[in-house]
Structure formats: structure tokens, C-alpha cells
Homo-oligomer: A and B are copies of this chain.
Amino acid sequence: MAERALVLRTVGEMQALSDEWRCQGHRVGCVTTMGYLHEGHLSLVRRAGRDADRLVVTVFVNPTQFGPLEDFDRYPRDFEADRSRLEAIGVDAIFAPDVAEIYPEGFSTRVEVDGLTDRLCGASRPGHFGGVALVVTKLFNVVKPTFAVFGQKDAQQALVIRRLTKDLDFDVEILVSPSIRECDGLAKSSRNVYLTEVERRRSARLFHALQAGMSVFRRGEKRVDRVLEQVRADLSGSGEVEYAEAVDLETLRPVERIEEPTLLAVAVRFGGARLIDNLILRPPEAA
């Protein structure tokens, strides 16, 4: 029988609880989510649980990271299911505020991370990473975690948050945990529920295309255009390819040759769903 988790709805309650824990010497681990939790989220929560004395998961569908034409309204939500899953893992507290608690009337502050946020997903989702940077800044101030775990599936988000954390001097350690996949390789995502059955079958090609690119690289090919040629060939017919790119793992700037750790990343639209995935290409000499 799982222990009940504390469910906190207000900033003040969460801050007071975290202060108490931290002053008792506890390491407070945090995973920020938009709920509708799947195995991908839960793997982050378990990862955090290994290092934390007290474990907090935030569940908040953040309106500021959705574009005006994006899926904020229809984004899937199921708090009671989330709560059961988190209690089964042994989470101590769930911070689940409503929108008015986080963005009250008169709200007017922005947090922007320049450079990293205009490429890859940022190119087609203007404002998205600003919204992420803002809500993570707020959640770090509310949860006051010792460390927080983010997923490698959202590679660009993880980089933006690392940059933000360092730039704003947050006393929070950032950990990044591997992507979790379905049996056919599709990265777990709350948005997978938008896929029709046909799209669902085709969506496995994202990971297969990335793996095909990885194989080309592993056979000794360092030229990015050759690697991407393979990726794009394998993606064709899957959906509408938004990007397939190889970029520097730190700066996200496009590279021509793979001499340093390189992020191979794709985004593909399938009707109502936009899916992303990535792999890291590590040259043996740079490992």
C-alpha cells in the first residue's frame, strides 16, 4: 500500500515545507512535469528518488510555454491517475497549483535564454522556451530543490535549463536522465496519445532514422551531411519532417563534421501531434 503524498496547491505552503526539509538537512529532489505521467516521467522520478531524502513532483500544465495555436486546451490531464502513480513510487509531495496561483492578475515578468532558444524546436515554437525558462525559474523558487531531474528526450529544454540555472545562480544541481521508449523505439511522450493507429506505427521511424544516422557515424562517417542524408531517407513517408539536424551538444550550433559530442535531433509532425527525438553522437576521441 503506497504512502499518501502531500498535495500542495499554494506557493507559500510548498516553500514552507521545503524550508523545513532543507533545514533538517534533507536533500530535496524535484521533477517538474505537466502531468499525464507516463513511464518517461516516472523514470525521472525514480532517478530523483535514488538521490533524494525528500521527493517533490510538480504537476502544472504551463500556459506560457504553449503558442496561441498550440494544444494547451486539449493537452491531456488526469490528476488522480498521476497522483496514484507518484504515490506508488513514494513521492513525498506533489505541487499542483492552478493557473491563477502561478500567473495571477498583473503578472508581467519574463525570463529569456538567448541563443539556445531560437534553434531546433525554438524556430517553430517562438516563445516556447521563454515559457519554460519562466516556469522553471518560478518552480525552483517555490520548491527550492537541492537538485532537479530533466529528460534527455527534451534535449534542448535540458540545455536551456542548465544555462538558466547557471546564469541566474540557482543553487540547484541539474541532472539529465535518458529517454524511455516504447517497444518499437518511439520515445514516450504525453503527446503520443494524439496519434492515430497508422501514425503510431509510422512514428517509430523517428528513432529508427536516428539509429540509422548513428550507424553511418559509427562506420566512420564524420560528415554531417552524409549522416543527415541517411536520417532524412529513413524519415521519408513517416510524417512532415520539421527538422533533422546535427548540432553542437553545448551551443546547439550546426556543425559540419562530428569532432565533438553532437546532438542528432529530429522533429516530425503527424496530423495533430508534433514528435521530437534525439541521440548523442560521441566521437571516441571526445568521449
**Residues of A near any B CB (own CB < 8 A):** 11, 15, 19, 22-23, 106-116, 133, 137-138, 141-142, 144, 163-164, 167-171
Mind listing 18 A-B residue pairs with CB under 8 Å? A19-B171, A22-B23, A106-B163, A107-B167, A108-B113, A108-B115, A108-B116, A108-B163, A108-B167, A109-B113, A109-B114, A109-B164, A109-B167, A110-B110, A110-B113, A110-B114, A137-B168, A138-B167
- CB pair B169–A11 under 8 Å, yes or no, is yes
Residue among B22, B107, B111, B141 making CB contact with A109, cutoff 8 Å = B111
Which residues of the other chain, B, contact A107 by a CB distance below 8 angstroms?
A: 167
Closest chain B residue, CB of each to CB of A14 = B169
Which residues of the other chain, B, contact A115 by a CB distance below 8 angstroms?
A: 108
- CB pair A112–B113 under 8 Å, yes or no, is no
A144–B141 CA distance with the chains assembled, in angstroms: 10
Q: Quick one: given A137-B168, A138-B168, are A109 and B112 in contact (CB under 8 Å)? A: yes
A110–B112 CA distance with the chains assembled, in angstroms: 5
**Whole-angstrom distance between the Cβ of A221 and the nearest chain B Cβ:** 30
Which residues of the other chain, B, contact A133 by a CB distance below 8 angstroms?
A: 109
Which residues of the other chain, B, contact A141 by a CB distance below 8 angstroms?
A: 168-171
A168–B111 CA distance with the chains assembled, in angstroms: 9
Closest chain B residue, CB of each to CB of A12 = B171
Closest chain B residue, CB of each to CB of A102 = B169
- CB pair A171–B109 under 8 Å, yes or no, is no
Q: A19-B171, A137-B168, A141-B168 are in contact. List 17 more A-B contacts (CB 8 A).
A: A15-B169, A15-B171, A19-B22, A23-B23, A107-B167, A108-B115, A108-B116, A109-B164, A109-B168, A110-B110, A110-B111, A110-B114, A111-B111, A137-B137, A141-B169, A141-B170, A142-B169
